[in-house]
Structure 1
């Protein structure tokens, strides 16, 4: 139960649900015990009066006596029916308190986990696959709910029933009570052992399901690649292999679960036989009545299911404990990207790197090596380099997706770690290299970074990103829903929507991470012309491998393997016989070749 202690704060939060649920459990147990007493009295009534009824045989008094006798039985039957209805009512109240409590805690726990997920750094997501993250918030939380709901409910039912019923049974006849209860511990142990096997095999199924979820998600996300390389059959074969493993494990689980009900019925039968045998002996001795035997059989049946559920609930607790342990593992992970002084203020836009070196914590790759540069407010800097040179790392550090361990980054002459994360990122517009659009309307995708986006701002951002004409050309315009990850849009359209999403926030610092890599030369020129106006008055970092984008910047930095090899203006770098000039000439030749085609 060590791991499940984490849930105590929720049990305290919903203590009134728990207390009322316990009260309703006690009342419902009372209403299911009373019929046993009524049955005893009704059988004893029949046994005690049947001879008197037979003695009046052939006389008019027999019919009168039968009416009185039948009326008494009818009253007992009505009371049993009333008790059943009242028990049903309070069982409804039990579920409306305890099961509702488990659903409320499930809701809170899922929200807590999801909120915590969003605070964790990018390195966490690079270490863990999406399928596993989804299973922890879905499957694992579902198992925890079974502990908080059914497990607590059945546990309280058994505990309160034992407290009320066992003393009553011993008071009636201790020897018969021992006979009646003797098979029940074996029942509970048997169910516990069966459920242990169920638990182990369920764990294997969950792992298989996690692998299956990850595989399916990757297949659907990369459906274009699958179709392009004609790998549908191979993908299907791999899927069939995974589902076959899942099928075999599910069948093994079914075989074990098939023992459950036969085991219960067998032990119930043994308990009933022992009760009838021992009870009959006590009746012969004159210590008990026939009504007592019937009463005890009812009590044994009342105890059987709660005792059987003890093994089941023990298994539920074990499974919940294992799941909560997995959840706690993630909840204990704390982000190291925190604000040191929670500084909230409007940025002017000065960005300064001082001897910054950075190594990715999850891969150990050294992306930046002792780089330094300064961007004054309203100025722009282009970072040019080949793939793997460390360009995108700069944008990740400015937006504090990662923290530096060597060197220092200053925003407005203040260490970046001093700023409140929310305040800092709100004033940064970022266009990622790997464009991601949500499965929503184009309007909502552009206005994603604003709480209540104004229509004229969204439209203007679309125009500035040169995507407005494309959008209004769709049948539903800005209300057009894009598919998952924006699959219904072309690469260039997705990239331009992403640019619109960044600039609609009117950020103080704008970062374009290879934002024009998926557009043609004409569209690039249109966007660059718009960017000239957009960049005025705001600090802009243009990360690109294309020299055409870099020409807009006041200063250009050329990176090679994380080192700054050249720095200066476009004209100054062209005047040198260096890497920038070489890149420029090659790309000019490519552009000319494309123009001829």
Structure 2
């Protein structure tokens, strides 16, 4: 497994990325503006408390005005309640906004992933895509809930507090903020250190996701080759890097916040020392001194938090870049076609088709094939000859490099992609089943397919009997990848799935190669019924399953070497005849 190596951007705020992110906020623009209003309101409400306490002490407590004290207390309680309500609304709304936006982003990202070419998934680790769609999107929510809005609120509150302090006593303000440069320096150092640590954590999480996903999926290979100990050591190393990155960030936090507390305490100490002298000399009132102590605590708190918020914002920006890069990926199947016929005849033609998965390394070279409606074409050849590539191109899972593929005389690129694939039924050798009921695995959640049609198709295939013996019958949960079913049972379900969609073209990719002889005989009859009246393209290693094909094409290293009927190819005494003799010997 290739470990991911990524670095963070040096920009604290990437305006280009933020502009693109706020496109997702447009559906909620009214609530966003309301959040801005709450942020401004909160910035002014919080500093009111020290000022009201100052007035209460200096104008009412000092002269023993009890009624004035009661009135100011009620005003103070009102401000505190109002602040609490605004704070609640601000926290809830920012979190609500963040969750709704990331919901939309996650949906768009998943929808985008579904449009990408299979080539993209061939070269991109699944664990990394899971990280993008889950962890990175979750981090992105902090941009809206804890990042930008919180930073703006903190900065605005600092400005308001400073203005009020300066208006009350500029001398006391300068004394109380004399330790501010130390806090700014320590905050900057902390921000830079944590930025690197957070990036290491994100990379470690991505590597962990990739490693765990790959090894759980391939656990049978790990166990077959007795590789548990070696993979365990690899996992320990990746997990160790994850632990180290997290501990490093914890270390920076454990150093910074005590340092910030000491600096704040020093500022309060200077205020008390200087202010007490002023009170004794009648140059400063007691109310002013008490309010300044409160102001210092309120002033330093957002500065301490702002470094953390900047890192939260920056990590959100990093995650945003990764997500936007994925959304910007152009490796999707272009669905520009508009041709969507209600029915097809099923005429398939390959004209001078060449195809390469990687650059100019062609796996198909100048292929010319023609299948008339209702005919069966069989593809034969060694592993890597290009058989599966032919059917991948027909359904436009990959795009051809040269030539053209037509169905009923129309280029496949002119078909609406959904219409094209709806008319091509594919049964693969490696059947994938989702962790869901058998019924939903057959219909793929399509409400237009009634259960009666599924039961009818299962009866035709010969799968109904074994399905109804399972607990719950068609509602039986097959678990992930159909782990609770045999290979033959999974294959039978895949045949039912192909039948209920009633495609005009059937593609069978080694459809019976993984089943026993008894099961093969069972589904061979179903195959005959399935192919009746439909154009069929069959890939098979067992030549016994394709002897009645209208045309057999022999592929070797991406080129057509022989073609004809079973008898014609045997009479040629070429590659097909040799392959037939070898299989006949195996049977004997």
Q: TM-score, normalised by structure 1?
A: 0.91
- 1:339-363: CA deviations, max 9, x gaps? 344222232211100111111137x
Question: Are 2:129 and 1:133 aligned?
Answer: yes
Say if 1:514 and 1:185 are closer, same or farther in 2 by CA, change over 3 A.
farther
> Does residue 525 of the first structure (1) align with residue 521 of the second (2)?
yes
Any unmatched runs of 5+ in structure 1?
Answer: 51-67, 593-597
- 2:308 maps to what in 1? 312
Report if aligned partners of 1:353, 1:410 keep a CA contact under 8 Å in 2: yes
Which range moved further: 387-396 or 11-20?
11-20
Match of 1:420 in 2: 416
Select the residue among 354, 358, 372 that pairs with 1:357: 354
Name the CA shift for 1:289/1:10 in 2 (closer, same or farther; >3 Å). same
Are 2:460 and 1:460 equivalent residues in the alignment? no
Aligned with residue 475 of structure 1, among 457, 471, 474: 471
Q: 2:587 aligns with which of 574, 584, 591?
A: 591
1:41 to 47, 55, 70: 55
2:151–2:310 CA contact under 8 A, matched in 1: no
- The counterpart of 1:348, out of the listed 324, 341, 345, is 345
- Using the alignment, how far apart are the partners of 1:355 and 1:551 within structure 2? 27
- C-alpha distance in 2 between matches for 1:259 and 1:402: 54
Counterpart Cα distance in 1 of 2:543 and 2:500: 26
Give the match for residue 16 of structure 1.
Answer: 30
- Preserved contact between residue 367 and residue 559 of structure 2 (Cα < 8 Å): yes
**1:378-527 superposed matches below 5 A:** 378-448=374-444, 450-527=446-523
**What are the Cα deviations for residues 28-83 of structure 1, in whole angstroms up to 9, with x where unaligned?**
33332222122112322576337xxxxxxxxxxxxxxxxx63x5545444443332
How far off is 1:582 after superposition?
2.2
SS of match in other structure, 1:553: coil
Q: Is the 8 A contact 1:464 1:531 kept in 2?
A: no
* 331-340 or 102-111: bigger deviation: 331-340
Counterpart-to-counterpart distance in 2, 1:189 and 1:412: 73
Helix, strand or coil for the counterpart of 1:42? Answer: helix
CA distance in 1, matches of 2:42, 2:314: 27
Q: Supply the distance in 1 between the matched residues of 2:37 and 2:315 (Cα, whole angstroms).
A: 27
* Secondary structure at the counterpart of residue 352 of structure 1: strand
Distance 1:220 1:368, change over 3 A: same
CA distance in 2, matches of 1:341, 1:481: 38
Compute the RMSD of aligned alpha carbons. 2.2
Mapped pair 1:264 → 2:255: no
Change (3 A) 1:340 1:111: closer
Structure 2 CA distance for aligned equivalents of residues 390 and 424 of structure 1? 22
Range with greater deviation from structure 2 (97-106 or 239-248): 239-248
Tell me which structure has the larger Cα radius of gyration: 1
**Is the counterpart of residue 217 in structure 1 residue 208 in structure 2?**
no
The worse-fitting range, judged by mean Cα deviation, of 236-245 and 342-351 is: 236-245
Residues 382, 553 of structure 1: 8 Å contact kept: yes
Give SS of 1:540's match: strand
* 1:333 maps to 2:329: yes
Q: Which position in structure 2 is the counterpart of 1:26?
A: 40
Q: Cα–Cα, structure 1 residues 95 and 307, in superposed 2: closer, same or farther, change >3 Å?
A: same
Residue 143 of structure 2 corresponds to: 147
**In 1, Cα distance between equivalents of 2:456 and 2:225:** 39
For normalisation by structure 2, the TM-score amounts to 0.92
State how far apart, in whole Å, the 2-side matches of 1:549 and 1:189 are: 77
The SS at the match of 2:206 is helix
Per mean C-alpha deviation after superposition, the further-off stretch among 298-307 and 392-401 is 298-307
Alignment of 1:534 onto 2:548: no
Comparing 72-81 and 208-217, the one that deviates more: 72-81
Once residues 453 and 492 of structure 2 are traced to their aligned partners in structure 1, the CA distance between those partners, rounded to angstroms, is 15
Tell me which of 85, 89, 103 is aligned to 1:93: 89
More displaced 10-residue stretch of structure 1: 98-107 or 517-526: 517-526
- The question of 1:168 aligning with 2:182 is answered no
Separation in 1 of the partners of 2:62 and 2:370? 105
What are the Cα deviations for residues 158-207 of structure 1, in whole angstroms up to 9, with x where unaligned?
Answer: 23324533332222222222333343454244223213212212222222
For 2:445 and 2:575, how far apart are their aligned partners in 1? Answer: 37
* Pairs within 5 Å for 1:269-284: 269-283=265-279
Q: Is the contact between residue 24 and residue 90 of structure 1 (CA under 8 Å) also seen in structure 2?
A: yes
Structure 2: gaps spanning 5 or more residues: 1-13
Q: Against the structure 1 CA distance between its residues 482 and 365, is the aligned structure 2 distance closer, same or farther, given a 3 Å change threshold?
A: farther
Task: Identify the residue that residue 373 of structure 2 maps to in structure 1.
Answer: 377
Per the alignment, do residues 140 and 569 of structure 1 end up closer, same or farther by CA in structure 2, a change over 3 Å counting?
A: same
Aligned to 1:269, the other structure's residue is in SS state helix
The count of corresponding residues between Structure 1 and Structure 2 is 573
Give the deviation of 1:234 after TM superposition. 3.2
Query: Residues 185, 23 of structure 1: CA spacing in aligned structure 2 closer, same or farther, 3 A cutoff?
Result: farther
How far the C-alpha of 1:248 sits from its partner, in A, is 2.6
TM-superposed CA distance for 1:97, in Å, is: 1.8
Contact in 2 for aligned 1:464/1:527 (Cα 8 Å): no
Specify the SS of the correspondent of 1:169: helix
